[in-house]
Amino acid sequence: MGILSLITGKAGHSGFGSASTAEEVTKGLDASKLTIIITGGASGLGIETSRVLALCNVHVIIAARNVEAANEAKRMIVGEYKAARVDVLKLDLCSIKSIKAFADYFLSLNLPLNVLINNAGIMFCPFQLSDDGIEVQFATNHVGHFLLTNLLLEKMKETTKATGIEGRIVNLASIAHIHTYDGGIRFKKINDRDGYSDKRAYGQSKIANILHANELSRRLKEEGVNITVNSVHPGLIMTNLFKYSAILMKFLKFWSFFLWKNVPQGAATTCYVAIHPNLKGVTGKYYADCNEAKPSSKARDQALAKKLWEFTVKLINSVSKA
């Protein structure tokens, strides 16, 4: 999908394009057999994704740091669709302790888990470290989702084995992955203030999302597990993600309005990749505007993906032992 298709909204091979909305790409789908966890499902693209999945009869579990906002999102969704099945669980992706507590509690509920949507994120933050001492964008956008996915993976394997239904993991990446540090990941300076760029740090976390999806996809294929893993670029959408650079983004949007989407359009690719039958068996791919796209060469680097996997495991282990 090129710039012209993005501007015109012309549909691609999937039958959908940049102008398609989440409701349009899921029209007529009954996903009542699915239980889906979506991180950050209480605001921005997340709340629209949660709402549309609920309309498809999914059992939606919103994992959010702000439980009050998540419960308000739940009330809004149930108010629109009385039969909606929506639950809220607390999760702070910037805290390894919180992620482990979330996973333990979810597993104690003995619910199935068909789909995990790693949606939550932060963007363009001033330099700061998480409580675990990890640069906050890398901690929230990559490390948190990496750990959460690993902790829930056995439950997903059990679910697909018991039900015969394909499991899916969706990582929300971004076209911003092309604007990262030299080499893709600052392995030796991941938590250093020196040389920090809020924009490149965000790009680093987003290329990490793609590399994570690709490496996990490879590993699951080798195991013969019926779980797919893909990453998506939702598009340019003005949401609360831009709170650290709202003035700049509004200026850019004024001059590039034809490239931006509204929230229903922004949630379309996530919903499409999460539940559409067209994606059955498709794994290790990157999607934009509901069609397969090609990420940067660094994002497709298998050696870099393996290196990031090993680095992240060691990072989490070092923090856990501290």
E-only strand ranges, 105-196 = 115-118, 167-172
Spatial separation of the C-alpha atoms in residues 25 and 282, rounded to whole Å: 17
Task: Judge residue 220's burial from the number of C-beta atoms within 10 Å of its C-beta, 0-12 exposed, 13-18 middle, 19 or more buried.
Answer: buried
Catalytic residue among 81, 105, 181, 196: 196
Residue 129: CB atoms within 10 Å: 13
| Residue whose C-alpha is closest to residue 230's, from 263, 270, 176, 289 | 270
Q: Of the candidates 115, 151, 139, which has an alpha carbon nearest to the alpha carbon of residue 31?
A: 115
196 is catalytic: yes
Structure tokens at 127: 């330099």
- Sort 297 into a burial class: Cβ within 10 Å, 0-12 / 13-18 / 19+: exposed
Tokens 């239904």 correspond to what residue?
165
Closest CA to 308 of 153, 177, 137, 184: 184
Paired residues of 227 in beta bridges: 167
CA distance 227 to 229: 7
Catalytic residues: 196
